[in-house]
Amino acid sequence: MKRCIFHYLHPIEDKPGIGSAMRPNRMLQAFRDIGYEVDTVVGYSAKRKAQIRRIKQNIKNGICYDFVYSESVNIPTALADRDHIPRQPFLDFGFLKFCRKQGIPVGLFYRDMHWQFPVYRDHVSRWKQMITLPLFRWDLRMYQKCVDTLFVPSDALGALVPHKNTVPLPPGGLYHPAESEKAAETGKLRIFYVGNVLGVYDITEFCAAVNKVDGVQLTICTPQQSWEAAKHRYEPYLCDRIHVVHKSGHQLQPHYQEADLFCCCLEVNEYTRLAMPIKVFESIGYGVPVVITEGIAAAELIAKSDCGWVIENNMDAFEVLLRRLKNNPQEIQEKTQNVRAIAPYHTWEKRAQKVAEDLTVRKEKESI
């Protein structure tokens, strides 16, 4: 029987509404879907401590685990409890070290290095940084001692991480085979956007382009709180062809199914150059081609697979593209066929299989 350990510092949400919560949920289920019996070490420190005790006893009783897979969170490991009090600062690294000593390979997904960039330093007080920054660096030092393979969203992030073995593991998606061909209509174009609408996620330039091109419809799905904070910036560009909704999870499905294109237009900076947004892979799963800003990490996949359009992040470039696509539906159909062809290779199950192959091969090599 195939068996593994899944480690995560927070509770796993049953119905995650944001990407950072979605990933551990999807990966845990994916390991089960590819045939693993999964023992979990998840939740806050008191719960993890009890689960670690149980797993150590399992190992002493002869139960064999193929590997440990861990997902990081966006705060230092020592502060991962809800109130950020460091009750068990050595608990998790001690557990990972124990597993390695027992011959169980350890892999950890390191989600990002936001703390190294202005996006973090500009929004976190200096006194908090005095606590968190040394702890983020301590995590990286401990990964070198406790983790065999450090999985990262992109090669660009892997190049920044001080670890001898980094492996790209971008997000996955849920594969939705197309029931029929979606006929694009000349003169009409339906676009879908999901995410925040502030900061690096500001899409006012895209909205301005939509406003100028008749026949183009844009649905923006964003949390209501974000929209209320940003609405004044968007009002000059809103029209009856731009609709704003506040939905998540399965509620997004009809919007993906109706869309001709998915918009992923981010401001390009040091931080977003590393970005592999989950929503891009969700769109791929639905067979919807992507309009994406050049310079961010996910754009390389879109360009290589010819399943969308990589473009500058400005209104003029957006307008030119939208006018062309509105009048050339065959171009959209070609990209749609390409994205449907690659969708089965970018599922969460494929990501889990990648982890399993990497870590079990490592275990076999070390046992020789």
Question: Secondary structure of the chain: what % helix, strand, coil (to 5)?
Answer: 50, 15, 35
User: Which structural domain range is residue 252 located in?
Assistant: 189-345
Query: pLDDT, tens digit, for every residue of 242-284?
Result: 999 999 888 999 999 999 999 999 988 888 889 899 999 999 9
pLDDT for the residue 365? 63
The span from the CA of 218 to the CA of 210, in Å, is: 7
pLDDT for the residue 189? 95
Query: Hey, what are 220's tokens?
Result: 């923006």
Query: pLDDT, tens digit, for every residue of 231-241?
Result: 999 999 999 99
The span from the CA of 226 to the CA of 335, in Å, is: 31
User: Helix or strand or coil: residue 64?
Assistant: coil
> What dihedral do alpha carbons 143, 125, 84, 144 form, nearest 10°?
0
pLDDT for the residue 187? 74
Do 137 and 197 lie in one domain? The reply is no
Which residue reads 């844009």 in tokens? Answer: 218
Do 140 and 271 lie in one domain? The reply is no
Do 336 and 355 lie in one domain? The reply is no
The span from the CA of 352 to the CA of 36, in Å, is: 10
Quick check: is 184 in a domain? no
Specify whether the CB–CB gap between 298 and 277 falls below 8 A: yes
Do 146 and 194 lie in one domain? The reply is no
pLDDT for the residue 322? 97
pLDDT for the residue 260? 96
Quick check: is 178 in a domain? no
Q: Flag residues of the chain having pLDDT under 70.
A: 17-19, 179-185, 362-368
- Looking up residue 271, the CATH number of its domain turns out to be 3.40.50.2000
Distance of CA 93 to the CA centre of its chain: 24
Do 121 and 79 lie in one domain? The reply is yes
The span from the CA of 80 to the CA of 314, in Å, is: 39
| Neighbour tally for 225: CB within 10 Å | 10
Q: Give how many domains the chain has, as a whole number.
A: 2
